[in-house]
């Protein structure tokens, strides 16, 4: 075996691991932001229904 047969697949394996970690992190951030928006919308709708109830 020469050095290229060991190094190149190793580089691709590391690159794939980094890419997978990046995708996972971005997905987590997007999901967290969507949960924040959903929670804010629930709070806002709750306040609006409360205000319409007391008026």
- Is 1's pLDDT higher than 80? no
pLDDT at 24 over 80: yes
Question: Residue 4 carries which DSSP code?
Answer: H
Name the maximum alpha-carbon separation found in the chain. Answer: 81
Give residue limits of the domains in the chain.
1-54
The distance in angstroms from the start CA to the end CA of the chain is 81
* pLDDT recorded at residue 10: 81
- Mean local confidence (pLDDT), 9-28: 90
State CA 25 to chain mean position distance: 5
* C-alpha–C-alpha distance, residues 44 and 49, integer Å: 9
Q: Which long-range contacts (CB under 8 A, 24 or more apart) does 34-41 make?
A: none
Percentage of the chain exceeding pLDDT 70: 73
* Position 26 pLDDT exceeds 90: yes
């Amino acid at each position: 075996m020469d050095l290229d047969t060991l190094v190149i697949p190793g580089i691709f394996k590391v690159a794939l691991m980094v890419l997978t970690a990046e995708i996972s992190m971005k997905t987590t951030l997007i999901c967290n932001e969507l949960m924040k928006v959903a929670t804010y919308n629930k709070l806002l709708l709750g306040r609006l229904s409360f205000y319409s109830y007391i008026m």
